[in-house]
Amino acid sequence: MPDRSRFYVTTPIYYVNDRPHLGHVYTTMVADVVARYHRLIGDETFFLTGVDEHAAKVSEKAAEMGMTPQAWADQNATAFREVFERLEITNNDFVRTSSEHHKAAVSRYVQALLDSGDVYQGDYVGWYDAGQEEYVPDNKALQNDYKSEVNGKPLIRKSEKNYFFKLESYREPLLAFYAQRDADGVPFVQPDARRNEIVNRIKEMDDVPISRSGSGGWGIPVPGEAEQTIYVWIDALFNYLTFVDTDADSPMGDRRKFWQAGAVHFIAKDILWFHAAIWPALLLALQKCPGFEWVNLPRQVYSHSYWVSDSGQKMSKSLGNFLDPAAIDNYVETFGLDALRYFLSTRGPLGVSDSAFSPELFIEIYNSDLANTFGNSCSRVANMIGKYFDGQLPAPLPADDPAYLPLKQSDWVGEYMRHFEVLDLTRAGDAALQPVRDVDSFIEQTQPFRMAKDETQRPAVGTVLYQCTEALRIASVLLWPFVPDACEIFWRRIGCGAYVDMLADNGSGHWEQLTTWGQLQPGTPIEKGAALFPRYDAERAG
Ligand code: MSP
């Protein structure tokens, strides 16, 4: 076995009460592009997504629907799973927090934290709205003059028994951990601006309640306390660990190696605090417990911003402006799944600013990068090979032949990898297109269609076209994480259909070969085929 490095990537687990929308699809597609990249370069990769089921809203909604919470959750979890399947997301497992495996593992972790004293029993004191049966945050209570926002009755000062996590005692260890990661050159939280916000907030953090009462049996009980349920956020965060906390004896197989590779968590800024403070603190606490010494901390939390509507509002269910599964399907039908993947992952809000989802920009990027660049270049080269070489890949002249015209190559692969390593998908996508742009300039410069008119120049034309095809082959390898379907079609057309199988393995280790110049065999039939990305004419399409 080659010694492959490992890679573990996750998305948030989405509230099962929601219908999947563009926001969920976005984070999942970004994680999918990154997972595919790591498989491509040969890393043994594990990619996890799924749903978060134990929110109070789930049992409330189920009661409204006359269903059990489990039946309601089952139905909605299926909707998420189906959307991700249709979008060809390559997750290795799908989290359901109602699974027995997850529940048992969370109970074990919380028991260990109770034993170590990092989870303790205390009193939660707050302003309670009896009509709504809920606590109102202090600032909101003050704003409403300590009256219910709903029925105007005075709020009650109430206290209840809760379990708390000693978050405050992890302030210094957490700051030291952040400093260590900075010193290692891989800051724990990205982008940098987000990291700075969190570090300031860590300095002021207090203990947090990690249980609630009255959940009516929906959720994971605190060990030994049937009345108290583990707070849904704690239950949810642990998914990243429970689903890979399995050894070779488990039907899930040995997955701890993935945890130990250092998880990369993709999330949006709405849930950064949980991931950047509470989660690493819980892990620091757990790794001190007997039997959990192997639990290291994640590699990174990448907190992106939001897709917003043209008018700048966050897409969400309550605002009713989200792209729902039907609208997403519509894009896929019109432009293809690859186009949606490419647009979302390269033009999305990965940085600190939000991105407006604009149909016009979608069309512009589709036409410029996919139709006019990659798609067009593939057609052009295949057409010339059809015309001048009977559809067979010509042999290039030896590189030292005076008639050899060399295609200018920059460090295509190195550039691409450098951007992927820092999760800059916009630049990584651009770097993947660089060989295509180089092919276009090479054709402009050498004009093979002119040279072809002179029979004696045929070997030089063949040299040009061989290099163009080879450069497009390398471009297609680099583009694969973004537009896998088109690349796979292209590979079959140039006699590289075997790549599909080479990449089917979870971390293939063929990277060196795939990206080394000169893989194509002269004489290989080159199929023209239909346009990989037909140009979209908005006016003609109406
Ligand atoms: N269940 C929690 C997460 C627990 S993770 C241990 C939750 N679920 S959620 O369904 O509300 O999903 C939130 C996530 O969905 C965001 O962090 C982000 O990944 C994605 N998005 C939701 N709306 C979004 C946008 N408008 N834009 C981009 N991503 C968004 O929070």
Other C-beta atoms within 10 Å of 143: how many?
11
pLDDT value, residue 306: 93
Q: Is the CB of 23 under 6 A from ligand 1?
A: yes
Report which ligand 1 atom has the smallest distance to the Cα of 322.
Answer: 26
Q: Is the CB of 376 under 6 A from ligand 1?
A: no
193 confidence band (pLDDT: 50, 70, 90): very high
Residue type present at position 458: R
> How far away, in angstroms, is 57 Cα from ligand 1 center?
16
Are 487 and 502 within 8 A, CB to CB? no
Q: Is the CB of 261 under 6 A from ligand 1?
A: no
Q: Among residues 160, 166, 172, which one has the least CA distance to residue 117?
A: 166
Write down the residue that tokens 């060196």 correspond to. 512
pLDDT digits (tens, 9 = 90+) for 104-158: 999 999 999 999 999 999 988 889 888 776 788 888 899 999 999 888 999 999 8
Q: How far apart are CA 381 and CA 375, in angstroms?
A: 10
Considering Cα of 333, then 338, then 340, then 341, what sign does the dihedral take? positive
Considering Cα of 367, then 372, then 373, then 379, what sign does the dihedral take? positive
- Cis peptide before 191, with omega less than 30 degrees from 0? yes
Q: Specify the 3-state DSSP secondary structure of 419.
A: helix
pLDDT value, residue 131: 79
- What does the DSSP assignment read for 435-476? HHHHHHHHHHHH-HHHHTTSGGGHHHHHHHHHHHHHHHHHHH
When pLDDT is averaged across residues 287-304 and rounded to a whole number, the result is 97
Q: Among residues 33, 54, 50, which one has the least CA distance to residue 84?
A: 50
1 confidence band (pLDDT: 50, 70, 90): very low
Angle 401-383-408 from CA coordinates, rounded to 5°? 40
Q: Is the CB of 278 under 6 A from ligand 1?
A: no
Q: Specify the 3-state DSSP secondary structure of 531.
A: coil
Q: Is the CB of 306 under 6 A from ligand 1?
A: yes
Strands annotated E in 60-143 = 93-96, 119-129, 134-136
Q: Which of 18, 51, 238, 270 has the most ligand 1 atoms within 8 A of CB, as the residue to mutate?
A: 270
pLDDT digits (tens, 9 = 90+) for 22-73: 999 999 999 999 999 999 999 999 999 999 999 989 999 999 999 999 999 9
Q: How far apart are CA 231 and CA 153, in angstroms?
A: 28
Computed over every residue of the chain, the mean pLDDT equals 93
95 confidence band (pLDDT: 50, 70, 90): very high
Q: How far apart are CA 461 and CA 453, in angstroms?
A: 10
341 confidence band (pLDDT: 50, 70, 90): very high
Q: Is the CB of 236 under 6 A from ligand 1?
A: yes
Q: Is the CB of 272 under 6 A from ligand 1?
A: no
Q: Among residues 22, 8, 27, 12, which one has the least CA distance to residue 345?
A: 27
The set of residues, in sequence order, having a beta carbon less than 8 Å from that of 498 and lying 6+ positions away, is none
Q: Is the CB of 52 under 6 A from ligand 1?
A: yes
User: Which of 191-200, 302-311, 421-430, 523-532 has the least mean pLDDT?
Assistant: 302-311
Give the residue whose CA is nearest to atom 6 of ligand 1.
237
pLDDT digits (tens, 9 = 90+) for 244-261: 999 999 999 999 999 999
> How far away, in angstroms, is 479 Cα from ligand 1 center?
27
Residue type present at position 240: Y
Q: Which of 26, 106, 232, 264 has the most ligand 1 atoms within 8 A of CB, as the residue to mutate?
A: 26
